[in-house]
Structure 1
Amino acid sequence: MLQIDRILAPTDFSSHSEGSVRFACELAERLGAELHLIHVLSDVVVPAGPDPMLISSMPPEYYREIEDQSRQTLDSLCAPDWPRPAQIVTEVRWGDPVDEINAYATEKGIDMIVVATHGRTGLAHVLLGSVAERIVREAPCPVLTIRDKKPS
């Protein structure tokens, strides 16, 4: 029988991911599982001139601030009126979202990932790709996708 002790809910802090995080909170509470919340930040590079090889990175203070803000947001992400798991673990990482989410799942022995999907189809899906789809294909554990019913 499948035992679910650790649930991972990645979030980009969008309204789309709010529904999946809330669902993960309720699922973790009902199963008595730990809830892991993760937010992955991407490095910001800015062209520093007409030559595309000249790329300037943001100052170190920017990275510290954005990481601190992300941690604060994660710490208050589960609203007080939502179901409350016994234990919530938060993590902020830098890099490719899919790679970091799947690496975290492997490192922490995550039993299930609950992720939002925008439900895009056609050209929008082809052009924008799908983080959720890549997570499903590459994850080390089962993935539950939650489609946002709100219009995008």
Structure 2
Amino acid sequence: MLHEAGTGVAGQGKESRTQGDHEMEEPLILCATDLSDEGDRAIDLAIAATRSLGGRLALVHAVGPEAHADDAPAAISAAADTLEDRLSARRERAERGLEAARARVEGSGVAVTARFFEGTTPADAILKAAEELEPALLVLGRRHRDTGFVGKTVDQISRKGPCPMFVAPPDGEAPQSLAGAHWVVGADFSDHALGAIRAARALIAKLGGEVTVVAVVSPSGAEDVPYEEQTPQTALREQSILEQEAELSALAEREVPGAAALTVRSIDRPSVTLDRVASEQGADAIIVGTHGRKGVVRFILGSTAERLLRISRRPVLVVRDCPMVGSPFYAAPETEGPGDAGTDD
């Protein structure tokens, strides 16, 4: 790790609050930026999340061979006679950029620190930062192209990150606040999807808003076929889908009372279908788990979540596991007993 680029003037101490019988620190939100326009959108999303959830924001910038792979501008290259000079010039530019980002966050009224972290790749540096700082949420930006800082970096962190990850799209403006947001949640009845649903429940409990739980299924083939012409296999598949629809409604009502539940029949990829539904619903953001598939529902494979991150024009919150007690994304199920807190189903 390298030196700190600066610190905010408020909120530096570890504050705590109580959630039920559990003492919890004010959440730390970690935002990784490559100082690009896409990185600025990630910072805007991180500001909105910090304002809404409370706590502190830490900006980090990855340094290392891949983090600064682009050649320096011609004016700098011409003035630099050695590799050391060029690296020094790049470092100075990064320091100025990170300090400007820190000042912008501080100007928004959010308590902030800013640091460099070193790694062999950007993902390695960000994961090191997450290991040391133990954030409740990691915020990244996504570029139009699928290589470089975001793209493969987001994919790697979605698999290995220790906390939920919020990804800002390369286009559009970040919300000013998450209060009252409409969240679309992908569901496939796996434990990973359950973690995403419970994260949505925790968010609306804290911030208000609404939730739509969506399952994507392949058509049964019986949709436009008279019952008497259906094959036994088609009839069984249709019955299975109808049972899944009932199960989804029960799951949504149990976990997020008042949430809408949609079972969408589609031949498109689940990522495309979920993004389309979010657009049709006017959702502010999407929440997904990263793995799992059950029954006829074909939703949250790891590759599906990764494709969704690449195509969606909305922020996507990725939850790898059921959040634990103390996380701002934790919500105990209604049926949880005294000894069940913090465990996955």
What TM-score does the superposition give when structure 1 sets the normalisation length?
0.71
Q: 2:202 aligns with which of 7, 11, 26?
A: 26
Secondary structure class of the residue paired with 1:130? helix
* 1:73-152 → structure 2 map (5 Å cutoff): 73-78=247-252, 80=254, 84=256, 87-95=258-266, 96-118=269-291, 130-148=303-321
Native 8 Å contact 2:216 2:264 kept in 1: yes
Instruction: Point out the structure with the larger strand share.
Output: 1
Mind listing any 5+ residue stretches in structure 2 that lack a counterpart?
Answer: 1-175, 222-230, 292-300, 323-342
Native 8 Å contact 2:220 2:241 kept in 1: no
Higher gyration radius (CA): 2
Native 8 Å contact 1:105 1:140 kept in 2: no
Q: 2:242 aligns with which of 47, 64, 68?
A: 68
Deviations 1:2-24 (A, max 9, x none): 45521011011112211111111
Shift of 1:63: 4.2
Identity across the alignment (%): 29
Distance 1:19 1:79, change over 3 A: farther
Q: Residue 6 of structure 1 aligns to which amino acid in structure 2?
A: H
Distance 1:129 1:79, change over 3 A: closer
Aligned to 2:215: 39
Q: Residue 101 of structure 1 aligns to which amino acid in structure 2?
A: L
Q: Residue 88 of structure 1 aligns to which amino acid in structure 2?
A: A
Deviations 1:77-123 (A, max 9, x none): 1475x5x45x31110012221111011011011101111113xxxxx
**1:16 & 1:57 partners in 2: Cα distance?**
33
Secondary structure class of the residue paired with 1:141? coil
What TM-score does the superposition give when structure 2 sets the normalisation length?
0.33
**1:68 & 1:33 partners in 2: Cα distance?**
28
Q: Residue 93 of structure 1 aligns to which amino acid in structure 2?
A: V
**2:302 & 2:247 partners in 1: Cα distance?**
26
Secondary structure class of the residue paired with 2:273? helix
Distance 1:19 1:74, change over 3 A: same
**1:91 & 1:79 partners in 2: Cα distance?**
12
Is the counterpart of residue 6 in structure 1 residue 169 in structure 2?
no
**1:138 & 1:63 partners in 2: Cα distance?**
30
**1:30 & 1:44 partners in 2: Cα distance?**
39
Deviations 1:21-72 (A, max 9, x none): 1111111222211110000012469xxxxxxxxxx9942x234312221221
**1:44 & 1:65 partners in 2: Cα distance?**
9
Q: Residue 94 of structure 1 aligns to which amino acid in structure 2?
A: R
Secondary structure class of the residue paired with 2:211? strand
| Equivalent residues, number | 128
